[in-house]
């Protein structure tokens, strides 16, 4: 089955998708297949696989895992691909590999600027990568990232939304949002994006926060605002791991219920490769889609 992610939308059911990441450097590749063995029963519309984020095995395993999700698990997949630290030649090789592995969808990203690594300057922004892929003889579905609270490098949200429009104009057919904890921020962002003429489906990225270490790291990376009901929850349960986990699941569940009530295009669950948490959330919301 060949399916572009954008085709999943507008079929009368809200899209529900997952993100997984390749195993960390010291872990075996088999660990991700154990995770996928359990995630498959939650019946997501697609699963995306990150690329080079969080010190993971990067390029090789992303392609292999995304290919296996489609071929062995029968679930549509998307391979993330970053460009800022790659030459045109390296991107060419990767595109060839993705195509030869039967991958249909690419999440096209710039990638973070890493202090010790000098960017290669063949691609400055995700929009350059998207234009490049579109200029080639491939037929990938292209997705891109969006930031309800603005990208941390952007001085203002208007500029960031105008830059987002450039990605869509370059050929992104579907957007997945950065995580957020205040749904109103997402609704306001979608309204502004629509006014700016961004008419592709926008999925809401939901990250269940199940321990306090995770939140410190996440917020420093992406700068998401924390509503007081969220910080109160964290303070109340930070020393009670089981309660913290259940509270985090409940918070993510409430976010999803509210988002579905507002007819969002889709929910993208950052699973953190934790099938137990994903299953608990799915059990809470599955009948609502």
Binding mask 201-240 for ligand FAD (x = CB under 6 A): ----x-----------------------------------
Are 138 and 170 in contact, with CB atoms under 8 Å apart? no
For 166-181, letters b (16+ CB in 10 Å) and e give: bbbebbbbbbbbbbbb
Which residue stretch of 6-14, 107-115, 184-192, 272-280 sits at the interface with ligand FAD (rule: CB under 6 A)? 107-115
Considering only residues 17, 68, 86, 178, which one is a binding residue for ligand FAD as defined by CB under 6 A? 178
Which residue, 167 or 280, is less far from ligand FAD as judged by CB?
Answer: 167
Considering only residues 70, 110, 174, 280, which one is a binding residue for ligand FAD as defined by CB under 6 A? 110
Tokens linked to 238: 């930070």
Which residue, 167 or 245, is less far from ligand FAD as judged by CB?
Answer: 167
* Residue 58 CB, nearest approach to ligand FAD (Å): 9
Considering only residues 176, 218, 259, 264, which one is a binding residue for ligand FAD as defined by CB under 6 A? 176
Considering only residues 76, 104, 160, 265, which one is a binding residue for ligand FAD as defined by CB under 6 A? 160
If we measure between CA atoms, which residue out of 217, 286, 277 comes closest to residue 248? 277
Q: Does position 51 bind ligand FAD by CB under 6 A? A: yes
If we measure between CA atoms, which residue out of 188, 180, 199, 194 comes closest to residue 270? 180
For residue 144, what are the β-bridge partners? 175
Residue 19 a catalytic site member:
yes
Helices (H), the chain: 30-39, 59-71, 88-100, 126-135, 157-170, 183-195, 212-222, 228-237, 241-261, 275-285
Q: Does position 166 bind ligand FAD by CB under 6 A? A: yes
Rounded-to-integer distance, Cα 94 and Cα 128, Å: 16
Q: Which of 7, 19, 90, 124 is catalytic?
A: 19
Considering only residues 3, 29, 53, 257, which one is a binding residue for ligand FAD as defined by CB under 6 A? 53
Q: Does position 153 bind ligand FAD by CB under 6 A? A: yes
Residues between 61 and 100 that touch ligand FAD (CB under 6 A): 80, 82
Name residues whose C-beta falls within 8 Å of residue 213's C-beta, 6 or more positions apart in sequence: none
Rounded-to-integer distance, Cα 209 and Cα 196, Å: 32
User: CA torsion sign, 268 to 24 to 79 to 223?
Assistant: positive
Positions marked active-site: 19
- Would you tell me which residues interact with ligand FAD (CB under 6 A)? 50-53, 80, 82, 109-112, 125-127, 145, 151, 153-154, 160, 163, 166-167, 176, 178, 205
């Amino acid at each position: 089955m060949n399916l572009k992610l954008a085709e999943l939308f507008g079929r009368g059911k809200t899209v529900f998708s997952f993100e997984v990441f390749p195993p960390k450097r010291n872990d075996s590749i088999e660990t991700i297949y154990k995770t996928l063995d359990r995630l498959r029963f939650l019946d997501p519309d697609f699963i995306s696989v990150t690329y080079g984020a969080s010190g993971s095995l990067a390029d090789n395993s992303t392609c292999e895992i995304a290919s296996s999700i489609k071929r062995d698990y029968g679930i549509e997949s998307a391979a993330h691909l970053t460009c800022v630290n790659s030459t045109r030649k390296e991107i060419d090789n990767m595109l060839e590999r993705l195509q030869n592995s039967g991958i249909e969808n690419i999440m096209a990203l710039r990638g973070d600027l890493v202090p010790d690594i000098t960017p290669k300057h063949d691609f400055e922004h995700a929009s350059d990568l998207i234009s490049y892929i579109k200029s080639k003889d491939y037929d990938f579905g292209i997705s891109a990232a969006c930031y309800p609270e603005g990208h941390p490098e952007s001085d203002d949200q208007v500029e960031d939304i105008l830059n987002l429009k450039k990605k869509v104009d370059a050929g992104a057919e579907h957007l997945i949002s950065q995580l957020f904890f205040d749904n109103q921020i997402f609704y306001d962002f979608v309204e502004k994006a629509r006014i700016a003429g961004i008419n592709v489906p926008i999925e809401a990225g939901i990250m269940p926060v199940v321990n306090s270490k995770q939140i410190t790291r996440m917020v420093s990376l992406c700068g998401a605002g924390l509503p007081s009901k969220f910080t109160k929850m964290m303070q109340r349960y930070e020393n009670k791991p089981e309660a913290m986990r259940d509270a985090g699941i409940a918070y993510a569940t409430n976010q999803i219920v509210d988002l579905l009530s507002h007819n969002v295009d889709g929910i993208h669950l950052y699973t953190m490769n934790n099938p137990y948490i994903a299953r608990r959330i799915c059990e809470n919301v599955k009948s609502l889609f």
